[in-house]
Structure 1
Amino acid sequence: MRHMNLELAWACLGNDASGFSARLQIRNAGPAALPAAGWTLYFNTCRPVDPARLSASVCLLHPGGDLFGFAPAAGFAGLLPGQTLEIEYWSAGWAISVTDAPLGFYLVLQDAQGGQQVRALGDAQIAPFLTPAQQQRGPEDRLPASTAATRYAAACGLPEAEALHGLTPAPQSWRSAAGRLTLGAATRILYQPALASEAELLRELLDAQWGLAPHCLPADGQPAGDAIVLRLAQAGDGIAHGEETYGLEVRPQGVLICGASGHGIAHGIQSLLQLLSSAVAGVIQLPLGVMRDAPRYAYRGLMLDVARHFIGKAAVLRIIDLMACYKLNTLHLHLSDDEGWRIAIAALPELTEVGARRGADAALCASFGSGPQAQDSAGSGYYSRADFIEILRHAQRRHISVLPEIDLPGHARAAILAMQARHQRLLAAGQVEAAEAYLLSDPEDCSTYLSVQLWRDNVMCVARPGCLRFIETVLRELQSIYAEAGTPLHTIHTGGDEVPDGAWLASPLCRQLMAQHGLATTAQLQEYFFDQLRALVQHLGLRLAGWEEMAVASAPDGTGRAVPNPRFLDAPMRSYVWLSAWGKGREDLGYRLANAGYPVVLCNGDRLYLDLACAKDPEEPGYYWAGFPGLREVLEFCPEDIYTDARCDLMGQALEPAALAGMVRLSEQGRANILGIQAQLWGENVRDGARLDYLLFPRLLAVAERAWCASPVWAGMNDMAARRAAQDAAWAEFSQRLGRHTLPRLDSLAVPPAYRLPVPGVVLQDGVLHANLELPGLTMRYTLDGSEPDAQAAVYTAPFAWVPSPQQEGAQVRIAAFSSNGRKGRSAVLDLPSSTG
């Protein structure tokens, strides 16, 4: 194994309506032969491989989830140094981007002593997706791929616009005045005693971002000199009712921030920081003006999936800071799933000892490219009690609620295996009764199922008494953690999504429970469990939240259609509605649940799933099961009217007007039940901090805009031409604001996020090269010789004529966006015509 060196290359050969064919090349670049037997090449892929359509040289293994393996078939002669093995195979689903390629390869080789050696091989080299068969999902796919030309066309023809201000999200009103206020070393922060925490936060942020550390003094008055005064709103301040409302006044006499509560004051502080600009070292300036502001929705959230790939404490604290800056107020942490358990529970140490480690030698196998080594892997890790308390306190100071999610009864494999390990440990110690206390599986269960993520053993046995005991123990520990942090836990999110068909069918314990309570189907068993879960949560003094599946039942007409379940309306659970992709048949479920009386948070996959690719571009990371939500699509999300802009399904085919007309609209009662919106960042593709930032930003800024600002003017327009013109104008202003103000401000942070820089649009028309960006204000640099542009490359400022010379035959234009701190985005490539035509 020490001398084994395998080079891997992968290519999609083409897609059709039902799947795709692919080729994996394994080249032996080392001095030792790969033997004829005794090895397995493991890899992760979310596209299940068909064992019946596979090269004869290998056979397929599927340990579970997205982990697959190729092992030598009978007759394989080995792979000598310099030789290449080609494996062609077929998979369900499609492969139209780098995200669809297998990743995280590692080789397990049996040695002569019966042991095994493991070597991480990393990712394969991925061949470009160039042909229509590689870029399209079969003949029904009418959605064009993103190209340099389509990007150019999308950014052309917009109305001339300037940013109205430098604030994101936009305030309700900002009346600017002539002049500026200068703040410097003599600046003081004067605050009412109840606002001491907010005053100290402002001082810390001014120091960290501007090197200005003003003294904080308790006081109750009006601004004088260059003081910043923080006080609760009084009659006559013109501050609307609502905990998060605020006013900001910048006058020659100083700054006044008043709010309905400390939460409103905190928002005013963030707006103040966005207005600041530097004149000279140690001195900062503010434009004079008066602002009044309040949010549209009380709930403005971001869900981070820390289970699939662990996101460490430092990164979470940084995300909280950025959420506060853009006035998001709820961080929903997805703390458990099949691939990981991420919070320490003192009474159940196996949850992190077993459930927080992934690797070849761990109970949890490698997933999503996390590799064979559990140590220092993005697939391993958890928050200690102290870590989580620090996260909670950091969020509380910024008026952000942290909503914990423990996903069950499906998506629970990490917990199930951890409790099996606990069971084995205590059995070995002779503690039979204690061993059974928290077991989450039925050893006699012969049910066969396959979850959406390809697991066969990821559903808790809801008939075991240990199941509710486990949940209660976890929830009591969470309550204790929150209490120690000084921020009581009010709501628990328990997932409840994607329990696969077939679960529980062959479990003796479940069949016995069903007979005892007269339950005819496993759907009724799940509903019975949710009822038990709700009673437990209420007993603990908590409110229940879950994904949409927890609030629905099957229609009594036998169609299987999901309808609001009236059973839980007496103490309604908060429902997070996500499966809104056009053509899936559940587009209006959020409205139906809200009309029925459920409090609803809209999490629409087609606009708010930030782990989806932002464009149909092979190089863009992310899935696309609900579409390709780009920055503009996120901005134009109308939470209370999803229909007016509905034009095509996931394949780009026109939607039937009759189908749209038959969908439910929000009633007045339903409108009142829409609590707000939440962006989701599921973690399958979040392998490191750079990918985290790339997927989140700048799209999260558009989510913040839509969650905070009043319903846009176009939302009520039925005239499509007028609506589109209004959308163009709003997009032109927003894109200018981000490109010229918001993103440069992000670049200036001590740890700036590596947000996605847009790929330029570029065309050659009549011998003139034109380029543009969806975010004006960023710098574009280009080369004409096919080399990658760098900080010394020419700056594109205007279209220019291009007449190729013989020395430049077959050259390429490469042009890329650069941030204000010099970071480079992905280049657009345009092949130049040859001088011979």
Structure 2
Amino acid sequence: MNSSFVLRTAQTLGGWRLLCVAVLLPLAAAAQPTLPALIPQPQSIQLTKGQFTITPQTQLALQTPVAEVRQLVQTNLPGLRINDLARPANNITVRLAAVAGLGSEGYELVVTPTGIRLTAPAAAGIFYGLQTLRQLLPPDRERPGFRFAGNVPAGSTTLPACTIRDQPRFGWRGMMLDVSRSFFTKDYVKRFIDLMARYKYNVFHWHLTDDQGWRIEIKSLPNLTQAGAWRAPRTGPWNSRENPIPGEPQTYGGFYTQDEIREVVRYAAERQVMVVPEIDMPGHMLAAISAYPSLTCSGKKVPIYPNGKFYKLEDNTLNPCSDSTYLFVDKVFTEVAALFPAPYIHIGGDEAYKGFWASCEACKPLMAANGLKTVEELQSYFVRRVEKIVNSKGKRLIGWDEILEGGLAPGATVMSWRGMNGGIAAAKQGRPVIMTPYQNCYLDLYQGDPSAEPSTYSLCRLSNSYAFEPVPDSVRSELILGGQANLWTESIPTTRHAEYMVWPRAFAIAEALWSPKSSRNWTDFIQRMERHFVRFDAAGVNYSRSYLNPFVTVQRQGPGGLLDVIITHELPDTDLYYTTDNTLPDAQSPRYMQPFVFPKGADRLRVVAYRNGQPVGRMLDIPLTDLAARAR
């Protein structure tokens, strides 16, 4: 049997790969090439004999005059000499040309013992091919400041011989960063874009405004940033933070100048990333209202709260019945539209508390005049008027799935976050949809057992993210533009913690949005992901290993009854050991085999996981009070 083999991932990268390995190992184990650890998994990869080593003599032959492509290559393969007349032998050749069966984001990458050839029909394909090429290089390539130069040891940049043909499953592969609750500098935003682009995300959804801060300079409304970008400094769990004290210095916050916005947009475009701004309305507007109180029904001056305690107590919603509100929106979107070349503006539309509208005397005659029977229909009226403003700037409107309530605006795209149902409803109306259900895509949620994690809320484990399927069976697939991972930052005060929460769940979502559905293989993904941790170590990027921790759920046997303890793990090849006698568990402790009753008199549960005979992850230490709370 020939020692080379073909993995056609578009149809077969699931169980067929394991079958191939099972057959080949007994016959030619030593000859089988190592499968590259690529994320997201490419559409198809053919592994062949041999390898190619980049040496100080290797040159770049860029067979295109397009400046954008030339810059992409130099940025991703720094230090290599460019010689457009170089022969293909022992060099790297990059060219723009049609590739049969591949679209504008597709590419073909061929590595042989005598050279590398990257071909794509457009600059985007060249960029994604370069990201795959980077992943074929040793992890040290990700070290900050790395350059291919004469002092690079021979053999340190060796790639396996292979042919890869690849293109994405979806056109919208997004990541959202909330900079309102926690403010991050321009430089960190660029780092965030760098990392997402490396894994073939192509939309950066920038959540620029919310209750806790207005982060974008609007020159015609200077108080938005002079007052609305700053709040009282606080730390600790979100809803345990103290309210602001009258007269307290407002020292936490910041904003991006319009020049900084332009810089970030250019930076993203160089990495094939479209930046979509979000200006959240009609709710989540407390920062704007603190600067311009007349925007609400009450006109009341309010502070910026560093928590969520004010919800339903203070009016954080724009007045939908005042023409001055729409003049404000027009001013904002005039400047926003000029800063962002993307065809979309996201207006939020989520979690708008409408209780103040219901009691607003100005809203009652407007509702009557327009035949609006409910406050949900009043929100629809608001969104429809705002959509006309957005359209007048040459843009299309996106909103969270709450914009369905009361009737969907005629040209709106729906971003479905409260599960899949909002997206399904919009698609059944023939509207385009971006799927981002919190159960799979919210990266600020617990990713492991809460006893071993920083405080947050709800749950989205790595396996939940890997199970994300953007296209429900009941809708036309062409209406699903793609999906998105979202990082809200109420509980994320630092950039290191932001990275901890994003990775590795963003690996999993990247694969759901790029790779063929048939290529899903959880065990294989884990193996590839862990090899990317080595790359992140070299790059200095933080990440979580919470998937290695046990996970405990509890059920109570009736009111006041005993507690049944269920212990699970995300990896199938893991042994779990526990104690309830206040001792530390190890591989000689009771092994978890099935749910058990927590013993009377015991005051805590401790659990450890073992993989391949070695302890992995963190030991869980859960007191009885916590177990009882979980049962509730």
TM class, shorter-length = 0.7 to 0.9
Partner of 1:631: 462
Partner of 2:542: 753
Deviation at 1:474, TM superposition (A): 1.4
Contact 1:278–1:285 (8 Å) recurs in 2: no
Whether 1:671 and 2:477 are equivalent positions in the alignment is yes
Distance 1:814 1:578, change over 3 A: closer
Partner of 1:318: 191
CA distance in 2, matches of 1:531, 1:273: 46
Contact 1:200–1:216 (8 Å) recurs in 2: no
Letter in 1 for 2:59: R
Deviation at 1:813, TM superposition (A): 9.5
Unaligned stretches of 5+ in structure 2? 1-17, 23-33, 141-151, 302-307, 553-566, 575-581, 591-604, 624-632
Contact 1:187–1:214 (8 Å) recurs in 2: yes
From 409, 413, 437, the equivalent of 1:574 is: 413
- Aligned pairs for 1:367-406 (under 5 A) are 369=241, 377=252, 380-406=253-279
Partner of 1:606: 439
Distance 1:490 1:619, change over 3 A: same
Whether 1:496 and 2:349 are equivalent positions in the alignment is yes
Partner of 1:619: 452
Q: Secondary structure at the match of 2:297?
A: coil
Q: Secondary structure at the match of 1:265?
A: helix
Query: Residue by residue, what CA displacement relative to the aligned partner does 1:647-690 show, whole Å, maximum 9, x if unpaired?
Result: xxxxxxxxxxxxxxxxxx524xx221011011111111111122
Whether 1:460 and 2:318 are equivalent positions in the alignment is yes
Partner of 2:46: 175
From 529, 536, 557, the equivalent of 1:738 is: 529
Deviation at 1:261, TM superposition (A): 0.8
Distance 1:180 1:576, change over 3 A: same
Q: Secondary structure at the match of 2:68?
A: helix
Between Structure 1 and Structure 2, whose CA radius of gyration is higher?
1
Deviation at 1:403, TM superposition (A): 0.5
- Aligned pairs for 1:732-811 (under 5 A) are 732-739=523-530, 741-749=531-539, 751-761=540-550
CA distance in 2, matches of 1:680, 1:544: 19
Contact 1:576–1:600 (8 Å) recurs in 2: yes
Partner of 2:289: 416
Deviation at 1:455, TM superposition (A): 4.6
- Aligned pairs for 1:16-31 (under 5 A) are none
Deviation at 1:525, TM superposition (A): 2.2
Letter in 1 for 2:125: G
Query: Residue by residue, what CA displacement relative to the aligned partner does 1:678-713 show, whole Å, maximum 9, x if unpaired?
Result: 111111111112221121110010000111111136
CA distance in 2, matches of 1:775, 1:745: 22
- Aligned pairs for 1:103-502 (under 5 A) are 164-207=35-78, 213-218=79-84, 223-225=88-90, 227-234=91-98, 237-238=99-100, 240-277=101-138, 281=153, 283-359=156-232, 369=241, 377=252, 380-420=253-293, 439-443=294-298, 453-482=311-340, 488-502=341-355
Deviation at 1:523, TM superposition (A): 2.5
From 681, 684, 700, the equivalent of 2:506 is: 700
CA distance in 2, matches of 1:336, 1:204: 32
Query: Residue by residue, what CA displacement relative to the aligned partner does 1:709-760 show, whole Å, maximum 9, x if unpaired?
Result: 11136xxxxxxxxxxxxx7xx1111111111x111111111x3224345444
Contact 1:814–1:827 (8 Å) recurs in 2: yes
Instruction: Tell me whether 752-761 or 629-638 shows the greater mean CA deviation.
Output: 752-761
CA distance in 2, matches of 1:777, 1:257: 38
CA distance in 2, matches of 1:445, 1:813: 52
Contact 1:609–1:681 (8 Å) recurs in 2: yes
CA distance in 1, matches of 2:198, 2:446: 25
Distance 1:337 1:813, change over 3 A: closer
Q: Secondary structure at the match of 2:451?
A: coil
Distance 1:277 1:172, change over 3 A: same
Query: Residue by residue, what CA displacement relative to the aligned partner does 1:290-321 show, whole Å, maximum 9, x if unpaired?
Result: 00001111111111111111122222111111
CA distance in 2, matches of 1:608, 1:345: 31
Contact 1:358–1:367 (8 Å) recurs in 2: no
Q: Secondary structure at the match of 1:231?
A: strand
Deviation at 1:544, TM superposition (A): 0.9
Give the fraction of aligned pairs with identical amino acids, expressed as a percent.
33
Deviation at 1:169, TM superposition (A): 0.4
Deviation at 1:516, TM superposition (A): 3.7
Whether 1:640 and 2:471 are equivalent positions in the alignment is yes
Deviation at 1:228, TM superposition (A): 1.9
Contact 1:192–1:230 (8 Å) recurs in 2: yes
Distance 1:314 1:241, change over 3 A: same
Across the aligned residues of Structure 1 and Structure 2, the Cα RMSD in angstroms comes to 3.8
Deviation at 1:787, TM superposition (A): 13
Query: Residue by residue, what CA displacement relative to the aligned partner does 1:411-470 show, whole Å, maximum 9, x if unpaired?
Result: 1111111123xxxxxxxxxxxxxxxxxx41234689xxx999455210011222221121
CA distance in 1, matches of 2:622, 2:449: 18
CA distance in 1, matches of 2:568, 2:115: 41
Contact 1:817–1:826 (8 Å) recurs in 2: no
Letter in 2 for 1:637: F
CA distance in 2, matches of 1:230, 1:368: 55
CA distance in 1, matches of 2:233, 2:157: 54
Letter in 2 for 1:547: W
Partner of 1:139: none
Partner of 2:29: none
Contact 1:759–1:828 (8 Å) recurs in 2: no
Partner of 1:584: none
Q: Specify which structure has the higher proportion of helix.
A: 2
CA distance in 2, matches of 1:688, 1:368: 18
- Aligned pairs for 1:547-566 (under 5 A) are 547-553=400-406, 565=408
CA distance in 2, matches of 1:233, 1:546: 37
Query: Residue by residue, what CA displacement relative to the aligned partner does 1:336-357 show, whole Å, maximum 9, x if unpaired?
Result: 1111111111121111111111
CA distance in 2, matches of 1:390, 1:464: 35
CA distance in 2, matches of 1:615, 1:352: 37
Deviation at 1:775, TM superposition (A): 7.2
- Aligned residue pairs total 534
Query: Residue by residue, what CA displacement relative to the aligned partner does 1:126-171 show, whole Å, maximum 9, x if unpaired?
Result: xxxxxxxxxxxxxxxxxxxxxxxxxxxxxxxxx9999843100000
